[in-house]
Amino acid sequence: MPPSRDFYLMIKPPPSELSEITRHKQVLGIEDGYDPARLHITVDPLGSEKEWPDPRIDWLNAILTRFLADPFYIEFDRIEENTLRGGGEALRAMRAFRRSLIRHLARSGLILPTRPFNPHVTLAYGQDSDHRVTIDPIGWTVDELLLIRSGDGRHVPFGRWSLIQRQPNLPLF
């Protein structure tokens, strides 16, 4: 039986933050051979590749090309068990981004199941941990949304959309 491959909408940390996350994993002994390039925030799972034949992927690509969102800042300041977690304004910004995306998808005809959304980065899979550690914040400006097929221990990009600042930042006098 072939391995399962699923599609996800994701956000991935940039390389400098990946290095910092990897350093924290090493310090805490959280190692599972998970490629750091696969670390991510799942915005929404979309289901099995069987549910997403090429024409449907093309349709989703067209929908996401029309999605407009500003870049936003996300920050994580603690490790709980095997996850990197955050809170505050950055968490609210991430949730607002996702709500906007879900509304856009629904207006375009793609209704996703309602599910709780607690943004986090899973650091290790299949490993129990009781870590509860506050860390120096790891944050970045999210400037793209990714469509990824995950399976066979790899993330294969199927689409990438830039988040573009639509309102200029004006100086205050």
pLDDT of residue 124: 84
Return the residue matching tokens 């830039």: 162
**Do the domain assignments include residue 169?**
no
**Do the domain assignments include residue 173?**
no
26 confidence band (pLDDT: 50, 70, 90): confident
Beta bridge partners of 156: 149
Domain at 18, CATH number? 3.90.1140.10
**Do the domain assignments include residue 19?**
yes
Q: Which domain holds residue 90?
A: 6-162
172 confidence band (pLDDT: 50, 70, 90): low
**Do the domain assignments include residue 141?**
yes
Domain count, the chain: 1
* CA atoms of 70 and 163, how far apart (whole Å): 5
**Do the domain assignments include residue 167?**
no
pLDDT of residue 173: 58
Mean pLDDT of 84-91: 88
**Residue 148 pLDDT > 60:** yes
**Do the domain assignments include residue 122?**
yes
Contacting residues for 147 by C-beta, under 8 A, at least 6 apart: 7, 8, 9, 10, 46, 57, 60, 61, 64, 157, 158, 159, 160
pLDDT of residue 170: 58
**Do the domain assignments include residue 25?**
yes
Mean pLDDT of 88-97: 91
**Is pTM beyond 0.75 here?**
yes
**Do the domain assignments include residue 89?**
yes
